[in-house]
Structure 1
Amino acid sequence: MLGSATIRIRTRIFDRSAFHREIEAPCVSSADNQLPDPLLRLGPLRKLGLSGKLLLLTIPLVLLAQILIYVPSIANFRINRLNDRLAAANTAALVLDAAPLGMVPESLSRQILSSIGARAVAIKWGQQRRLLASADLPAQIDHDIDMRSITVWSAIYDAFEVMFETGNQTMRIIGPAPGGAQFIEVVVDELPLRQAMYRFSSNLLWVSLGLAILSAGLVYLALHYLFVRPMRRLTANMVAFHENPESPARIIVPSARGDEIGVAERELSAMQSDLVSMLHQKSRLAALGLAVSKINHDLRNLLASSQLLSDQLASVPDPRVQRFAPKLMRSLERAIAFCQSTLSYGRAQEAPPDRRMVAVEQVVGEVRESAGLASDAAIGWVSAIERGLLIDADPDHLFRILLNLVRNAAQALEGQTGDDVAPPQIRITGRREGAVAILEVSDTGPGVPQRAKDHLFEAFQGSSRPGGSGLGLAIAAELVRAHDGDIALVEGTIGATFRITLPDRPVELHSIRSERARA
């Protein structure tokens, strides 16, 4: 029988604060308090590159995974060692209990206890506890461990408690007993268990380090080839393209990847192609602008000479000359004014409109004559302008707007054949809706293709015919917007119909009243 001193449980107060200090101590150092501002550390981190950052991130994550594996492993190792002691005690109990009259020589008892690494073995039958063998039994037991009621968290806590203990303490292990007994008890030293746990931790540490390095290396290589190298390729291409953005050879050739990196490569390639095309176009436009500036200087001199000759021609008394001379002079005046505004247009600056009330029918007639449609029987002409319609606009701007639209319509009708749905015809309508004037220029041509609709009013991009520049619609749109108006393609019509909306200028009542007062 174990005496009262033997079965007494001594409660040991575990210093949790010391335990936490020992666990957290490696995570905090004086160097951490001296780290510079994160913004100042950003520069050195960038020098590591994406591969270095990936490696620095992979190794700690793998080590963290190994630590998470170690915690249950060390707890399970302790449970297995304690179960081994109970299994050896069960075997010893069978041997000791089988002795005749329970008489076992002391020397044999010590040998049995030494072989199982225990100080005492006891078993309980019913209400009776029987001490089967004992040797050097301490006066009190430091820990009681009941293997029948161990939980996961208690096993982890007890394992680390043993790891951080000092000295040699004793444990009483209680577990199920064979042969119908209630339980069996075995008293063992804690030091051998702690040493075995240290060896297990050391072995597991080296294995974990090896696995961490191997796993981190494999993960690093996989991520490097899957992500880092393609990103480096993208970066190198962007740097090279930045050095010479006009070279088509610098455009990236996208891979066949279907993930986000593949999408980024394809989008980058499309963006670079558009940028190269745009830069080439800008270069050509710059060269064209320089050429136009030179031509404009000489052309103005030629037109000035022609104007002098037209003035002399106006003095000829021939009736036919007198009828055509004013029209010729107006055409020359418009040509000279247009040449003078060429440079301002090249600077993307159109002269502000000089608005006044303009008779639309007169402007439409001049447009027809300037377009050469007055005597052209091949293309029909219909003018459906409201009688006496006046528009608040710049007369020269309105003339240029309608002339560009009419010329585009005439060019679209030139390629028509007899098999077309409707005969070639240009129709101009005009009406007023309150303070807004609406003009429509329509034709019975093939219409505007979809590819031209996307960039309809953009210079050099909105042309729908081979060799066209698209400048006519771009100029017309710019002049309409200068009047705070709008121009749009009307859908659902035969051929093409362009609708121009020009609002009147807002009336300032104060100015009108002042003028009336002065009058």
Structure 2
Amino acid sequence: MLTVIFVMLSEVLIFVPSIANFRNNWLSDKLRTAGVAAAVLAESDVISPALQTRLLQATGSDAIALNDGPTRRLIAMDTMPPMVDEVVDMSRMNASASIVQAFDTLMNGAGRTLRIIGKAEMGMSGTIEIVMPETPLRKAMLGFAVRILGLSLVISIITASLVYISLRWLFVRPLQRLSANMARFGEAPEDASRVIVPSGRADEIGEAEERLSTMQKTLGQTLHQQRRLADLGLAVSKINHDLRNLLASAQLFLERLETSSDPLAARLAPKIVSTLDRAVGYTRAVLAYGRAQEAPPARRIVRLARIVDDVGQVQGLVEHEAIAWENRVAENMEIDADPEQIFRVLMNICRNAVQALQGEGDPAVVKRLSVAAERTGTVVTIRIADTGPGVPAAARANLFRAFQASARPGGTGLGLAIASELVRAHGGEIALEEHGPGAVFRITLPDRPLDFTRARAVQDGTRRLERDFGNAPDERAGDPGNG
């Protein structure tokens, strides 16, 4: 329908000059016929009435005259011609005048009489004039308009049909294929056989097919992974429930060991109880990673060396027979952090390092794990370095993403993901440094930002106290100047 309308609008633009040109040609033909007859009969002194009648019928006019400068000769005339309503001088006709007069004929030409003036034919000088009714001209123009309208409709319908077929073949059918594939894929997104196969087109439709195919593959993999994670979360919740009960029982047994007279039991029991307390705390938050964010860090000023010592003891590195454990953190190094969360961060990274070092079977290989730290202004940088095989290049792209970064068979990759989340909660960063014989992890922890508004209020309050009490008279000394 739009194509038909557009073609008809184009035909209107064509029709305007066409109808004007048709009117000019029709009038010129009448003048040419009358001019030839006038040139032939001009030499005759007398023209018979029968010949005049045939000449008038041939031109469709009421009178024909030849105007040759000073003389004007009537070639043929019916009885008394009617009064002339409009004069048309073909020698002065231009495009705009032709269009205006053509539409004037179509609107008002019925019943009017025209006087038409044109150049004489066959080498004769002067002009030829005819007087004729305008009604035949109007009928001829209406017939031409109807033919133009019919031809325009035929052209527009043919054009519209071709455009419709082309659009349907080029765009509508591919879009229907896209929408049908979307609906079919939505029924079973995890079914790889329902992913659209791009047709290889080089236009926008082909690009849309490529993008849809990529999106469907990614979505299918994501849904498959989410389903596995949901199953894993259900399994972990069941294991977590039973594990908490077992740990609670172990705590009860260890509390009895604390009262034992054995010095070794008395020395080890508090550490084991502390470790079990941490384990119970982890079981309470074991599902927090998948369900929500970790709890906000409860930051304190803590000694980092003590936390590193705890990590070494829990990992059994202090007296390890194969791995050399080095705590290079200064005893006076203090950090502003949550001690339990920092313990978890160091624990996860060190556990990965221990597992990597234990995988080395050659006794000649140096196995060393060290933790060092330095402070620069309000930022503490912790480095955990080992002499293991390092992190494979394939695992570095998703190093801190859960279930995607494990370089060890059977690993989940959760340790580094949890460590990264806890470090970010402190406003810090964790990264793998490229240098080093093994893996070197750098943790950057900034101190808490100073609340200037609160600090200023405290400072102002201190100054007021100093002003009020510092200048108060000392009643005991009797000296008004002592504060």
Which interval holds the TM-score relative to the shorter structure? 0.7 to 0.9
Quick one: structure 1 residues 406 and 174, their matched pair in 2 at CA, closer, same or farther if it must change by over 3 Å? farther
Quick one: structure 1 residues 109 and 338, their matched pair in 2 at CA, closer, same or farther if it must change by over 3 Å? same
When normalised by structure 1's length, the TM-score is 0.77
**Secondary structure at the counterpart of residue 34 of structure 2:** helix
Q: What is the distance in 2 between the residues matched to 1:456 and 1:207?
A: 72
* Range that drifts further, 295-304 or 253-262: 253-262
The amino acid across from 2:26 in the alignment is R
Q: What is the distance in 2 between the residues matched to 1:341 and 1:284?
A: 20
Gaps of 5+ in 2: 466-483
Q: What is the distance in 1 between the residues matched to 2:73 and 2:406?
A: 109
Establish whether residue 480 from structure 1 lines up as the match of residue 445 from structure 2. no
Query: CA offsets per residue over residues 154-183 of structure 1, 9 Å max, x none?
Result: 322222221122532222223333415243
Establish whether residue 497 from structure 1 lines up as the match of residue 402 from structure 2. no
* Range that drifts further, 220-229 or 252-261: 252-261
- Contact 1:452–1:463 (Cα < 8 Å) also in 2: no
Identity across aligned pairs (percent)?
44
Q: What is the distance in 1 between the residues matched to 2:253 and 2:260?
A: 11
The equivalent residue for 2:292 is 348
The equivalent residue for 1:231 is 175
The amino acid across from 1:300 in the alignment is R
The equivalent residue for 1:301 is 245
Match of 2:282 among 338, 346, 352: 338
The equivalent residue for 1:60 is 5
The equivalent residue for 1:217 is 161
Establish whether residue 183 from structure 1 lines up as the match of residue 111 from structure 2. no
Query: CA offsets per residue over residues 215-245 of structure 1, 9 Å max, x none?
Result: 2112111111211122222222333334444
Quick one: structure 1 residues 412 and 96, their matched pair in 2 at CA, closer, same or farther if it must change by over 3 Å? farther
**Secondary structure at the counterpart of residue 133 of structure 1:** strand
**Secondary structure at the counterpart of residue 108 of structure 2:** coil
**Secondary structure at the counterpart of residue 385 of structure 1:** coil
Establish whether residue 207 from structure 1 lines up as the match of residue 140 from structure 2. no
Displacement after TM superposition at 1:80 (Å): 1.9
Quick one: structure 1 residues 115 and 448, their matched pair in 2 at CA, closer, same or farther if it must change by over 3 Å? same
Q: What is the distance in 1 between the residues matched to 2:57 and 2:461?
A: 125
- Contact 1:360–1:385 (Cα < 8 Å) also in 2: yes
Indicate the structure (1 or 2) with the bigger Cα radius of gyration. Answer: 2
Displacement after TM superposition at 1:296 (Å): 1.0
The equivalent residue for 1:91 is 36
The equivalent residue for 1:158 is 101
Displacement after TM superposition at 1:462 (Å): 4.0
Q: What is the distance in 2 between the residues matched to 1:188 and 1:108?
A: 18
The amino acid across from 2:231 in the alignment is A
Displacement after TM superposition at 1:380 (Å): 5.9
- Contact 1:252–1:265 (Cα < 8 Å) also in 2: yes
The amino acid across from 2:75 in the alignment is L
Establish whether residue 434 from structure 1 lines up as the match of residue 411 from structure 2. no
Query: CA offsets per residue over residues 87-128 of structure 1, 9 Å max, x none?
Result: 21232122122x34x433232122222212223333443454
After the TM superposition, which residues 395-414 of structure 1 pair with which residues of structure 2 at under 5 Å, given as runs? 395-411=339-355
Match of 1:134 among 60, 73, 77: 77
RMSD: 3.3
- Contact 1:120–1:134 (Cα < 8 Å) also in 2: yes
The equivalent residue for 1:72 is 17
The equivalent residue for 2:403 is 460
- Contact 2:85–2:113 (Cα < 8 Å) also in 1: yes
- Contact 1:146–1:174 (Cα < 8 Å) also in 2: yes
When normalised by structure 2's length, the TM-score is 0.82
Total equivalences in the alignment: 454
Q: What is the distance in 2 between the residues matched to 1:506 and 1:66?
A: 78
